[in-house]
Amino acid sequence: MSRKDVFAHLTPLPVSVTDGEIRAPKGRGRPILGSPELIQDASRSPVGAIGQSLSEVSRRNERAEEIEKRLAKGQMVVSLDTADVDPSFVPDRMLGAAEAHDRLVNSIREQGQQVPILVRPHPEHAGRYQVAFGHRRLRALKELGGGVNAVVRDLTDEQLVVAQGQENNERQDLTYIEKARFAQRLQQRFSRDVIMAAMSLYKSDLSNMLSVVSRIPEELIDLIGPAPTVGRRSWIEVADLVSNAKTLDRAAVFLRKPEIQEMASEQRFKALIAHLKPRVKKTKADVWATQDGARLAKVTYNDAKLTILIDRKGAPEFASFVLDQLQLLFEEYRSKN
């Protein structure tokens, strides 16, 4: 499947406008809206982390816009009432930062909606539509009032989630945990091949995501939030820390505290890690010695225990004496207390 014909298998609406030629994107590490067999490319190494350089993020945003322009090319862009448009049947986003939403609202207020969203006729409710991608723009436009510019296409469930996943993947709007939950929700309805195509994931990446999200309850993830800067390794660490019911309860109680919920999502995540990690007890050490400097024993102690270490080779008589006197010392202590 060529990149230019990447949506050739979808049923288009009648052509009403024709745009100029759109330049094909530069080479990329993963297929755009590709099929599963394109993902199984042994010459490419799996990418487990989602952090990218600023230049790469910029290129990915450009590619995402090219996807949308290609979808809109030759198609009728219509204005729909935002009240008639429903989100995708597979949620992919958690409640994001208010600052990012406000920036998008201000941008659309000042410049208008630059790129249409992609929707399909709602499969269950006549006269309504369902979003494939453009959820954030739709939310902003609902807040501003008025209509939303959209391309309407007949999409199957599989085609919708492929478009939804690939567009989000290109923009890198979704955080690691949002992608993991999206994959988990897709798994309830679709094969792993469809999920890999939708999200441009290798099999090992998908397995890791599903493993992480299956070990952390949804309630706990909701309490933490999307945590935009937190990647795979840190989420695996949390999954390991909440591996038993006792620790899980501790985590939930901690995250529900008002002062913790007031924190930004990334700070909540870091605070939880610090709260759950075993505290390293500071150990102090002393040396017992004779008046002439001969070493008798090493004493180490912390909040939990005290240890006396006697070198039986250096002071064999003293070691035996201590052993003999321990019981007598304890009985004396108990009699006085």
Q: What is the total residue count of the chain?
A: 337
Q: Considering the domain boundaries, does residue 243 fall inside one?
A: no
Among 215, 241, 271, where does a domain finish?
215
pLDDT value of residue 23: 32
In a domain, 261, yes or no: no
Distance between CA atoms of residues 183 and 201, nearest Å: 10
Same domain? For 189 and 66 the reply is: yes
Q: Is residue 140 part of a domain?
A: yes
Over the chain (337 residues), the average pLDDT of each successive run of 10 is 38 35 34 34 36 49 57 69 88 64 82 87 90 86 88 88 72 78 88 85 91 92 89 92 90 94 91 85 75 79 80 77 83 82
| Domains contained in the chain, number | 2
Q: Please give the pLDDT value at position 19.
A: 33
State residue 239's pLDDT score. 93
* pLDDT of the residue at 3: 33
Q: Which domain holds residue 81?
A: 36-215
- The DSSP annotation for 119-188 comes to EEE-SSSTT-EEEEE-HHHHHHHHHH-SEEEEEE-B--HHHHHHHHHHHHHHHT-S-HHHHHHHHHHHHT
pLDDT, tens digit, 9 for 90 and up, residues 58-88: 565 565 566 555 555 546 788 899 999 998 8
pLDDT in tens, 231-266: 899 999 999 999 888 899 999 999 999 999 999 899
The last residue of one of the domains, among 169, 184, 215, is: 215
Residue 91 is predicted with a pLDDT of 75
Is 264 within the bounds of a domain?
no
Cα separation, 334 vs 337, in Å, equals: 5
For residue 5, is it within any domain? no
**The domain boundary residue, chosen from 174, 190, 215:** 215
What is the model's pLDDT at position 324? 82
